[in-house]
Amino acid sequence: MATKKIRIEKDSLGEVKVPKGALWGAQTQRAVNNFPISGIKMDFPFTKSFVSTLGIIKDAAARANLRLKLLPAKKAKAISKAAKEVWQEKHHKEFPIDVFQTGSGTSSNMNANEVIANLASKYAKTPVSPNDDVNMSQSSNDVIPTAIKVSAHMDLTKKLYPALDKLINEIEKKAKSVEGLVKTGRTHLMDAMPIDLSDELRAWTSQLSASRNMLGVIEQRFLELPQGGTAVGSGINAHKQFAKYFAQEMTKLSGNKCKCVPSENFFHELSAQDCSVQLSGELKNLAVILMKISNDLRWMNSGPLAGFSEIELQALQPGSSIMPGKVNPVVPEAVTMASADVIGNDVTITVAAQAGNFQLNVMLPVIAYNLLKSINLLAGAMNVLSAKGVKTFKVNKKNIAESLSMNPILVTALNPIIGYEKAAEIAKKAYKEGRPIIDVAVEETDLSESRLKKLLDPSKLTKGGISK
């Protein structure tokens, strides 16, 4: 068997064997050897933005250090060039470390430092140090919290918001198309007063919009960057102006789309993950909303003969390996599973966030992974739900009308006129005999049929108020 080609790298602990063609160095390789836990790398699809953000951070740091005359121009420009290639995803295969690693994320920070240093050394044609040059004015303890904030902000704005806005717009389009279509409302899964189908759908958009607004409030805190706190929050080994210059360079690298500022309290930002907990909490809320919408769609689609059969979801695939002709609501089911995963992620983030012992949280990588996973799962789920769930479902108007006409709860509108007890008698009789409410009401009251039609008009009952 051929021996894999290797090279020897050194760090403070001694020599390490590294694959010959790898851009990473000794510390990265030690982490690869130490943490064969999950096989989930920091370059996992959900966390690509995290690796990219490490490149952006190193680019901004080199630019800030150049402005402060701490880093020679030749090295600074080479680091920026190499770092740009990382944040452009040209070297993501060079990030082989497991998500479950040292709690500070030092391994991932050094991975970025080593890859960028190797590339920069070639561009500068002079040795560039991973620690002294690429990591200048930084610590893993402020780099990783900064990377969590920036990558989360990136995925929120580029992935989640577009998907959420698309879903809201698609539901609103559907609501507008069914305005005036009255159906049986349900409470406790039991027949209740009639509602306009458009109102039922717009309840969903109201939920989604409220979550969108709250996400926007929380998101702003993710532009308050911990970078500059270095090891414990004191800013040791960093120039007093570094944090300000770094934030300015991050703003520039965003194309001035994001106004980054230094955090007001670095000690807070390094020791705690309050922002991540807050964001995860709202992502969990959004997941709960999507579960409610998806389950409503499943119930409305149920049947086609023994369920509600109010809508017909698009048939996307055969639903059973044994029952021919069966078609299942696969999209809402997939969305509920994604939502369940997000709810679980929130538990992980909550537990991880309490591990801020004294001056440093020591579960940062798993917070990053689960937070970004939640954002990406929700974005993907909403894209599918809007395109293959909401946009394409058809309304079974005939079934809705038949169900509504037999709804004994319509008698509620007569309460102010004939009283609760008499109305209850009519409802029970109508239900027992399987007859429309209006027919029984004609027999059991002295109200004229024309007045009863007016009082029991389902469309009128959707507007609220007291019947007269």
**CATH number belonging to domain 406-461:** 1.10.40.30
pLDDT, one tens digit per residue, over 283-331 is: 999 999 999 999 999 999 999 989 999 999 998 988 777 777 788 999 9
CATH 1.10.40.30 domain residues, the chain: 406-461
How big is the CA angle at 292 (ends 46 and 366), to the nearest 5 degrees?
25
Give dist(CA 212, CA 446) in Å, integer. Answer: 52
pLDDT of residue 314: 93
User: Under 8 Å CB-to-CB from 264, ≥6 apart: which residues?
Assistant: 224
pLDDT higher at 377 or 4:
377
User: Mean of the per-residue pLDDT values for the chain?
Assistant: 95
Of 188, 239, 309, 405, which is the active-site residue? 188
Contact between 46 and 372 under an 8 Å Cβ cutoff? The reply is yes
The predicted model gives 166-171 an average pLDDT of 98
Instruction: Please state the pTM of the whole predicted model.
Output: 0.94
Listed range (24-38, 39-53, 58-72, 240-254) with the worst mean pLDDT: 39-53
**Strand pairing category for 6-11 and 14-19:** antiparallel
268 is catalytic: no
Residue 98 three-state SS: strand
Give dist(CA 380, CA 368) in Å, integer. Answer: 18
Which candidate, 467, 444, 447, places its Cα nearest to that of 457?
467
Give dist(CA 368, CA 356) in Å, integer. Answer: 15
CATH 1.10.275.10 domain residues, the chain: 6-136
CATH 1.20.200.10 domain residues, the chain: 143-178+190-223+271-398
Listed range (162-171, 372-381, 458-467) with the worst mean pLDDT: 458-467
pLDDT of residue 436: 86
Of 38, 206, 234, 320, which is the active-site residue? 320
- Whether pLDDT at 1 is above 50: no
How big is the CA angle at 247 (ends 260 and 105), to the nearest 5 degrees?
95
The token pair at 160 is 């989640």
Give alpha helix (H) positions in 185-326.
Answer: 197-219, 242-253, 266-271, 274-301
91 is catalytic: no
Which candidate, 173, 376, 158, places its Cα nearest to that of 257?
158
User: Under 8 Å CB-to-CB from 249, ≥6 apart: which residues?
Assistant: 59, 60, 61, 63, 64, 67
Q: The domain 6-136 is classified under which CATH number: 3.30.1490.20, 1.10.730.10, 1.10.275.10, 1.10.3720.10?
A: 1.10.275.10
pLDDT of residue 319: 79
Name the DSSP letter for residue 278.
H
pLDDT bucket at 468, cuts 50 / 70 / 90: low
Q: The domain 143-178+190-223+271-398 is classified under which CATH number: 1.20.200.10, 2.40.110.10, 1.10.3720.10, 1.20.1250.20?
A: 1.20.200.10
The predicted model gives 69-76 an average pLDDT of 98
Which candidate, 49, 40, 83, places its Cα nearest to that of 65?
83
pLDDT of residue 466: 76
